Amino acid sequence: MSFNQSSATEKAKQDLARRTSVSESDIETVSVTETEFADMSLGAPVGDEMAAQMMSSGWRINLSAGGKKYEYRADKYHIRLCNFKGTNHIVGS
């Protein structure tokens, strides 16, 4: 699967709805910005993952649900949730 800004945002909202039990319609898209990430883990490595050290363009997706803010990062290959309960997560690829 290949993502664009719109499909990545949609996927992020679906993921957050499942994690927080907040209805998808109640999740607010705070901002979606084009960003250049430091590497192909989008600066959000998982576990002992090793990532290609190439600058990688994608989107920083900020969502809000239940009064809390959440940051997703995406490129055309995959989506990550940053620092959710202390760790990063790959949520779609």
Partner 1 sequence: MNRNNFWIHFGIAVVIITMAAVLGQIRRWETSLRTPVSTGKSSKPTTKPIAVKRSNADGEPEINVRFKPTVNLSDIKKLAAKNNDRIEDEIEAVKGLVSIDDLDNADAETVAKQYAAMTDLVLYAEPNFKIQLDDPTKTISSKDLLQREPIEARPNDPKFAEQWSLNNLGQDGGKERADIDALKAWLKTRGSSEIVVAVLDSGVDYTHPDLVENMWIRPDNVPQYKDDELVVANDLHGFNAAENLSDPMDENGHGTHCSGIIGAEGDNDEGIAGINWNVKIMPLKFMGRGGFGTTKDAIEAINYAIDRKRNGVNDRVINASWGSTMYSKALEDTIRAAGEEGILFVAAAGNATTNNDKRPHYPSNYNLPNVISVAATDKNDQLTSFSNYGVKTVHIAAPGKDILSTWLNDDYREASGTSMAAPQVVGVAALILANEPKLSVEKLRERILKSVDKIDSLNGKVENGGRINAAKALGN
Which spans of this chain sit near partner 1 (rule: CB under 8 A)? 15, 18-19, 38-41, 43, 45-56, 77-78, 81, 85, 89-93
Going by the DSSP 8-state scheme, the letter that residue 14 receives in this structure is H
Going by the DSSP 8-state scheme, the letter that residue 66 receives in this structure is T
Question: Least distance to partner 1 from the beta carbon of 22, Å?
Answer: 12
Strand partners, 65: 68
Q: Which is nearer to partner 1, 60 or 89 (CB)?
A: 89
Strand partners, 29: 63
Q: Which is nearer to partner 1, 47 or 67 (CB)?
A: 47
